[in-house]
Structure 1
Amino acid sequence: MRIVISSDKKGLELKNRIVEYLRDQSFEVEDLTPQGDVDFYEASIKVVNEVLKDVKANKGIIIDEFGAGPFMVADKFKYIICAELNDEHSAKMTRDHNNANVITMGSGVIGEDVACRIANRFCVAQYSGGRHQIRVDMLNKMC
């Protein structure tokens, strides 16, 4: 699995910590954060466009101050299932039940340790399919 990640200026420090953590856990991580004073919209578009190149192999993480803005941007795209996360259990369940391929987090909402655990849980969790596929198909028909 390839993890693509980006942030705006307010999420930069947390994003850097998550990148370091995931690489230490042997994940393939590509940092797409644009240079300069970028806003969450541009950071989100970069991640979404990469994930859409191969939705089965790519997963995305977007960081800003609160997580809500990138969540709203990402969920506008067909075949992107995004979750705004603040806890580890939701990170697992959004992959397990919803086959989420992008998550967002807010640097002003959660600390580094929790954010790293959320990212790890999202990256290791598997989609269970089965009865959940009906919902995933409905989500993918939207937009």
Structure 2
Amino acid sequence: MKLSGGCHCGAVTFELESKAPYPYMRCYCSICRKIGGSGGYAINLMADAGSLMVRGAETKGVYNAVIDGNTSPAERHFCKSCGSHLWVWDPRWPELIHPHAGAVDSPLPTPPETVHIMLAFKPDWITVPDGPGHVHFQNYPDKSIEDWHRSKGLFEA
């Protein structure tokens, strides 16, 4: 599926291809919470890094979070004009890019369930839905984004 998106001010836009476009996983870690800023979590998708086309790249900045005193190699790309976070790219998995669902303008499919991850880092003020259709993990889930899509028959060939 082709995904198109960009920042709030329009200085940076992007297009890329995703075989796993369902925005099903909400991450509550401090990095996602603070840079994503929406509902106390961030939702990342998975796409093909080789398909990324960017307009306005000169306006884009990169943030590498510090985790336990070490700088993460994961690059969190954002617009330097309006501050919108756009995607995460990590050199440990160079073939993948993870656009933020909130930066995608294309209509996204509705996921059959919501997976809540990194709940060990969630502040008390955030209420996490429970019950049918909601799966919880204190840390990372047992399936990758691709594995989850495949297990649900949603991975696009």
TM interval, short-chain normalised:
under 0.3
Name the TM-score, length of structure 1 as normaliser: 0.25
More helix by share: 1
More strand by share: 2
Larger radius of gyration: 2
Name the TM-score, length of structure 2 as normaliser: 0.23
